[in-house]
Amino acid sequence: MLLTGKVSLAQFALAFVVDTCVAGALLCGAGLLFHGMLLLRGQTTWEWARGHHSYDLGTCHNLQAALGPRWALVWFWPFLASPLPGDGITFQTPGDVGLVTS
């Protein structure tokens, strides 16, 4: 349309910027939803790709493992101190928490 003269350069530039912003927002939203799903499942991307579910403690325990005991408040104020339950090297499994694995 720019080459045929039906739109001006300013209109073309505006449409390009808007389209790029919409595409970027959709990709960021998809990434946020995907990693939110991984957080709730207690998985990393590597574990998800290989079908491992070794650390799934249930939604509430997964949130506590990732965000600490005050996980609900951390959503609203990310700078709030909420110590994590582990040492960052070893992680709880369903057997450690007393959950039944299927």
State the pLDDT at residue 95: 81
Q: With a cut of 70, say whether residue 97 has pLDDT above it.
A: yes
Q: What is the pLDDT of residues 55-90, one digit of tens each?
A: 999 999 999 988 899 988 998 898 999 898 888 888
Q: What is the pLDDT of residues 23-39, one digit of tens each?
A: 999 999 999 999 999 99
Cα angle at 42 between 30 and 84, to 5 degrees? 110
State the pLDDT at residue 41: 94
Residue partners of 12: CB distance under 8 A and separation at least 6: 1, 2
In whole angstroms, how far apart are CA 50 and each of 8, 27, 54, 74, 102? 50, 23, 11, 30, 18
- Tell me what percent of the residues of the chain surpass a pLDDT of 90: 48
